[in-house]
Amino acid sequence: MSTNHSKQFSRDCMVQALIQLLQTKSLSNITISELTERAGVSRMTYYRNYSSMDEIFISYLKDLVDAYRQDVADWPDKGNYNDYRNMLHCYEYFDHYREFIACLVKTGLGHLLLQALDSYILDTYYTEDKGRDFYYTLRAFSGSLYNIYVTWIMENSMESAEEIVSIICKIYS
């Protein structure tokens, strides 16, 4: 296994171990020894990759968002920010990481997902020539995507991603 694959595997193991530990404990009550033992990695591996437990979440979320950006980079047409296709892709993509995002929110780090959504939407759809009104429209839109997504996953709602996105489309039509 190459060094990059080994490092990524160790990081993935630590994320999964942290998610498992958070099922029964708060983040502040989890020790590095517990985490590394559950993950099957050494303490040195932990310290080589992170300076805090929060950093595990921050790093993993960055990887997810980078992968999402790469996933949609090849789309020939980005469409409009509130297109059904764009929102459905976003919800389906992040729903795949539902457990991780629920832990992110439970530990008080949900704002990191909101910041990532803001950044992606602004980078993709905003240019200064579109004006400040459009800038605030995009910020409001990313906030509503975040709030609806968090409500959907934290309440274990029964609606499908398609149903949720249809609701959002009604709001923005």
The last residue of a domain, from among 31, 50, 69: 50
Q: Are 165 and 84 in the same domain?
A: yes
Range of the domain at 16: 1-50
93 has pLDDT over 60 = yes
1 has pLDDT over 70 = no
- Token pair for residue 131? 């004006």
- Residue 149 pLDDT level (bands cut at 50, 70, 90): very high
Q: Are 60 and 41 in the same domain?
A: no
3 has pLDDT over 80 = no
Q: Are 34 and 81 in the same domain?
A: no
Q: How many domains does the chain have?
A: 2
Indicate which CATH number applies to the domain containing 19. Answer: 1.10.10
- Measured at the CA of 47, the angle between CA 43 and CA 49, to 5 degrees, comes to 120
Q: Tell me which DSSP letter residue 130 carries.
A: G
**Which of these, 57, 50, 157, 169, lies nearest to 107 by C-alpha position?**
57
Phi and psi at residue 73, to the nearest 5°: -60, -30
32 has pLDDT over 60 = yes
**Which of these, 98, 95, 93, 10, lies nearest to 48 by C-alpha position?**
10
Q: Are 67 and 129 in the same domain?
A: yes
Q: Quote the CA–CA distance of 149 and 161 in Å, as a whole number.
A: 9
Q: Are 72 and 38 in the same domain?
A: no
Of all residues in the chain, the percent with pLDDT exceeding 70 is 98
Q: Are 14 and 60 in the same domain?
A: no
Q: Are 61 and 24 in the same domain?
A: no
Please identify which residue in the block is written with the tokens 């990532």: 116
The last residue of a domain, from among 12, 28, 50: 50
Mean pLDDT of the chain: 92
Q: What is the pTM for the complete model shown? A: 0.85
Q: Are 46 and 58 in the same domain?
A: no
Q: Are 41 and 109 in the same domain?
A: no
Q: Are 92 and 165 in the same domain?
A: yes
- Residue 74 pLDDT level (bands cut at 50, 70, 90): confident
Q: Quote the CA–CA distance of 125 and 103 in Å, as a whole number.
A: 29
The pLDDT tens digits of the residues spanning 95-145 come to 999 999 999 999 999 999 999 999 999 999 999 999 999 999 999 999 999
Indicate which CATH number applies to the domain containing 128. Answer: 1.10.357
Q: Are 78 and 93 in the same domain?
A: yes
pLDDT of residue 78: 82
Q: Are 86 and 20 in the same domain?
A: no
